[in-house]
Amino acid sequence: MNDVGILQLAGRLTVNDQPGLLKQAVASLVQNGVRHVIVDLSHVRYVDSTRLGELIAAYVLLSRHGGRFALAGTPPRVRALLDVSSLTHVFERFDTVEAAEASLTTSAPV
């Protein structure tokens, strides 16, 4: 069983989107036995503070279930938002989904 789930997001993630979709997707993965989640942001152009809050909520949900939450392909604008929000060290970040998956599958806590 693969215990790593990958969610690919795209476009602009703003308050105008449907709220809660990311957290629901992560919760669904956890219910289906996925332990670690990678969110691929390589096609995301912008994240507002509301959607940043959803990333945090997804991180907390996964952490409470003993899993790890990683961001992959984080674009410069989103990295800047993480810096300004003092969240740079909260999320594990990787250049690619493949690098994140390798890390989560080889060094995942037992």
Domain boundaries, given as residue ranges, for the chain: 4-106
pLDDT, average across residues 60-85: 93
pLDDT, average across residues 47-53: 89
Q: In what order do the strands lie in the sheet with 69-72?
A: 4-13, 36-47, 69-72, 92-94
Helices (H), 1-110: 21-31, 49-64, 76-84, 97-106
Domain 4-106 homologous superfamily, CATH: STAS domain (3.30.750.24)
> What is the pTM for the complete model shown?
0.89
What is residue 42's predicted lDDT score, i.e. its pLDDT? Answer: 96
Average confidence score pLDDT of the chain: 89
pLDDT, average across residues 28-44: 94
Judged against a pLDDT cut of 50, whether residue 59 lies above it is answered with: yes
